[in-house]
Amino acid sequence: MDLATRQRELLLDEFGAIRRQAAAALELFEEGATIPFVARYRKERTSGLTETQLKHIQDRRDFYAELSTRKRTVLDTISGQGKLTPDLEHAIVECRDKQALEDLYLPYKPKRRTRAQIAREKGYEPLADLLWAHKPASGDPEAMRGACDILAERIAEDAPTRAWTRDTTLKRGVLRSRRKRGAEGDLSKYEMYLDFSEPVSRLASHRILAMWRGEREGALSIGIELDPAPILAQLDRSFNRPNSPHRTLFVEIERDAYERLLAPSIETEVRAALWERAEDEAIRVFAANLRNLLLAPPVRGEAILGIDPGLRTGCKAAVIDATGKFLEHTVIWPDRPDAAAVVDRMVARHAVKKIAVGNGTGSREADAFLRKSGLGVTPVAVSEAGASVYSASDVAVREFPQLDVTVRGAISIARRLQDPLAELVKIDPKAIGVGQYQHDVDQAKLKRELDHVVESCVNLVGVDINTASADLLSYVAGVTRPLADNIVVGRPYRAREELRKVPRFGPKAFEQAAGFLRIPGGDHPLDASAVHPESYPVVEKIARRLRKSVRELVGTRVPVRPEEFADERVGVPTVRDILAELEKPGLDPRSEFRAAAFDPAVTELEHVKAGMTLEGVVTNVTDFGAFVDVGVHQDGLVHVSELADRFVRDPHEVARVGQVVRVRVLSVDVPRRRIALSMKRT
């Protein structure tokens, strides 16, 4: 039986109505194509599958690849024992679930010496077989105990029994969390879980993450409680017989199988399943927040003054020009008489249009100073999350080897306002602070998901090849980090075709990357657009039909029907994309920038009062609500029940990181530094 072929069939079976498109996507992935490239430039092959659909296909492909590897190990192990029957082989090959596969493997899996194994070594298995067949049998007390141990293990390792018991535990079990005996220290963050219970079926992901962390830290003791009666009754129906000569004995065997073997094992598996579910949700939330943060509106074409606030050491200030190039830096002491004049000179000298102020300690004081100085330039609060990580990183050292880390921080703050995507790709996403329990989850899985988000955002926006950092370029489809470094070395470029001469930029890499790399003001008018070089002949054909030059078509609505220019290589979807791109070449999909207007009278937590209406910025979205910065160095929480006047299942439906919102203060707890907010209109 060809395992690889069957696994591909099982994979494609999952996609039903889009099976043909899924098969085409798999072929493209096998050819080395990336998700952004396939989604944008191979719509004919996949009938227009979206990036989300392509990501799901790729994820399921990876799942089946891992499952297939495990199946091969299981098959080889059982075959080596001489116990692989055709029915068992078929069940293993057809398996679509990791846990079900492990259930099938369990009776044959090498394990430590169990009570049942010891009984087999003593020769009690024939007696156990007679009991299992419900035939008359007897033996001395030791032999009977050994035979019972063998049967208890058989029951506990029966695959259908394990599946049923696991499902019952998930549906009817109750997870209970208590303060762990002997736990000391501050347990306030686990206060609600010191005596907590909830049905397993209703457990929210953030509760699972919180309780598991509390258990790891020695604060909580966690277990799953379940009425055993229904399970014992099911075991009796499955393994006992009404007229069995060993009916009473089997009841005892079944109870031992459940209490000693099955229940502890199933609890471990259920807890693992709960954790995996919570982990996947945490990663999903982090990815959604990161996408919104990376796609936050940029401040296009303006010189910006970045300020890293400091009360004791002064405010570090740095200016960047409209392209992000560093120009000048200084230290500002707001309490000194000449402070306003220093800022005024920097603003005038470089025609600064906006001032980006880090939102850390001292930010409101810096903001108040700037507003009083009458500069005519609006200060904008910018998140500092991860700025210190960047400032001390190898990336920052390579960019600004002669500058102090604090100055690098001010530059980064300015660049975050100017182009969040270009600056934030330099930082490990986990340091940006828009996740929940991100350090607790599988780091490899988290990295894969976040890397996909960054790659997706970078390719959605496109990259100016002559100004982008190597970090940004390395996320372009088909571009590796060494290739990104080579691209930077070879700058400037006047045409996309010049990239073919860059070391390591082979035909496949060019195919994948060229459409996402832009050259504004280059020799070819389409090099600044998202039109792929392979489609330039289509544009030239349109230009000939209209008796115009290609340059004359750029920036205009072209009056042609897509069907007229489609052929066997370029289909109607691609021609439609080309026409849309000609009308608005290089259009940035990000929205226009808008800054939040913090209330100048509310700068400290003590100033916040119930009933106030404030403007703020969403800093994080979790599965239980959204956190909003209202300018008092302590984010408030809008619980999911207060996000809208309607029922909200997923907070991401109505809130996104970076969104400017108006909130009403419900309550303030100054000692615990908690602010409860509402986004409801009524």
pLDDT digits (tens, 9 = 90+) for 413-423: 999 999 999 99
Residue 107 confidence (pLDDT): 95
Q: Does 648 score more than 80 pLDDT?
A: yes
Report how far apart, in Å, the C-alpha atoms of 344 and of each of 101, 317, 376 are: 70, 12, 9
Q: What is the DSSP letter of 631?
A: S
364 vs 493, residue with greater confidence = 493
Q: What integer pLDDT is reported at residue 362 of this predicted model?
A: 84
**Cα dihedral sign, 507-511-515-517:** negative
The band of 475, judged by pLDDT with boundaries at 50, 70 and 90, is very high
* pLDDT tens digits, one per residue of 179-197: 999 888 888 889 999 999 9
Q: Helices 247-256 and 229-239, interaxial angle, to 10°? A: 130
Q: What is the mean pLDDT of the chain?
A: 93
Classify burial at 589, counting beta carbons within 10 Å of its beta carbon; exposed 0-12, middle 13-18, buried 19 or more.
Answer: exposed
Q: What residues does each domain of the chain span?
A: 3-108, 303-418, 458-583, 605-678
pLDDT in tens, 227-247: 999 999 999 999 999 999 999
How far is C-alpha 456 from the geometric centre of its chain's CA atoms?
Answer: 12
**Which option is the CATH number for 3-108: 3.40.50.10470, 3.90.1150.10, 3.40.1010.20, 1.10.10.650?**
1.10.10.650
CATH class in words for 458-583: mainly alpha
Residues 288-304 have a mean pLDDT of 91
* Better-scored residue on pLDDT, 326 or 632: 326
Q: Residue 13 pLDDT > 60, yes or no?
A: yes
How far apart (Å, rounded) are the C-alpha atoms in residues 445 and 289?
A: 17
Three-class SS of 339-392: HHHHHHHHHHHCCEEEEEEECCCCHHHHHHHHHHCCCCCCEEEECCCCHHHHHC
Place domain 303-418 in its CATH homologous superfamily: YqgF/RNase H-like domain (3.30.420.140)
Residue range 482-491: average pLDDT? 95
Question: Using 50, 70 and 90 to split pLDDT, how confident is the model at 1?
Answer: low
Pick the CATH number of 605-678 from 2.40.50.140, 1.10.357.10, 3.30.565.10, 1.20.1560.10: 2.40.50.140
Q: Is 174 left (phi over 0), alpha (psi -120 to 50) or beta?
A: beta
**What pLDDT score was predicted for residue 136?**
93
Dump pLDDT digits (tens) for 383-400: 888 888 889 889 899 999
Which residues are CB-contacts of 21 (< 8 A; sequence separation ≥ 6)?
15, 46, 47, 49
User: Which H or E run contains 491?
Assistant: none
Calculate mean pLDDT across residues 616-643: 92
Please tell me the predicted confidence (pLDDT) of residue 335: 87
Average pLDDT over residues 459-474: 94
Answer whether residue 467 shows pLDDT above 60: yes
pLDDT by residue (tens digit) across 83-108? 999 999 999 999 999 999 999 999 99
| For residue 639, pLDDT beyond 60 | yes
Confidence of residue 428 (pLDDT cuts 50, 70, 90): confident
What does the chain come to in residues? 682
Q: How far apart are CA 289 and CA 470, in angstroms?
A: 24
What is the reported pLDDT for 21? 96
